[in-house]
Amino acid sequence: MSNSLRVIVVAMVAVLAAGAFWISRPSPVAVQPAAQSASAETIAVAMPELSAAEKSGQVRYSMLCAQCHGANAGGTMQGPPLIHKIYEPSHHGDMAFLLAAQNGVRAHHWNFGDMPAVEGSNDEMVAEIVTFIRAVQRANGIQ
């Protein structure tokens, strides 16, 4: 066997050994159930197809509100679901959303504590967020 052929054979054996090790290594540990429940939403929310405007509201919502109200507004341990009869338009009109983001909310419907004013939000952003929330509410029979 020529020297260069020997080098190639050795290299191939090394690659095969590495491959066997890669395949036989234990699979990654599954996500901790505790971590899952901390981010889980309080209620299951059906997500509708969103229009472009609703989608931009969703992006703003994810940045400013989802931390407490849940990715799909189904609520978390930090805040209530907004996809809830309490927040239907006739009980909490769009103005209630503007005021909540601007001034915060003193706890009165739930036991999550007060909602702080949302830093970095303005009326235009909240109007977009409301468009998103109303679409999800409608898809869940809240109107």
Q: Residues interacting with ligand HEC, by CB under 6 A? A: 64-65, 67-69, 78-80, 92, 96-97, 100-101, 105, 107-110, 112-113, 115-116, 118, 121, 126, 129
Shortest reach from residue 141's CB to ligand HEC, in Å:
19
CB of 47 to ligand HEC, least distance (A): 17
Closest of 140, 24, 2 to residue 75, by C-alpha: 140
Residue reference for tokens 């090790």: 21
Torsion of CA 110, 80, 107, 55, to 10 degrees: -160
Q: Which is nearer to ligand HEC, 12 or 65 (CB)?
A: 65
- In the bound state with ligand HEC, the residue whose beta carbon lies nearer, of 9 and 95, is 95
Q: How far apart are CA 59 and CA 132, in angstroms?
A: 9
Q: Nearest approach, Cβ of 38 to ligand HEC (angstroms)?
A: 14
The CA distance from 123 to 97, in Å, is: 9
The least distance separating ligand HEC from the CB of residue 122, rounded to whole angstroms, comes to 10
Q: Which is nearer to ligand HEC, 25 or 106 (CB)?
A: 106
Query: Which CB atom, from 118 or from 135, has the smaller least distance to ligand HEC?
Result: 118
Token pair belonging to 8:
């190639």
Q: How far is CA 82 from CA 10, 25, 41, 106, in A?
A: 63, 45, 11, 16
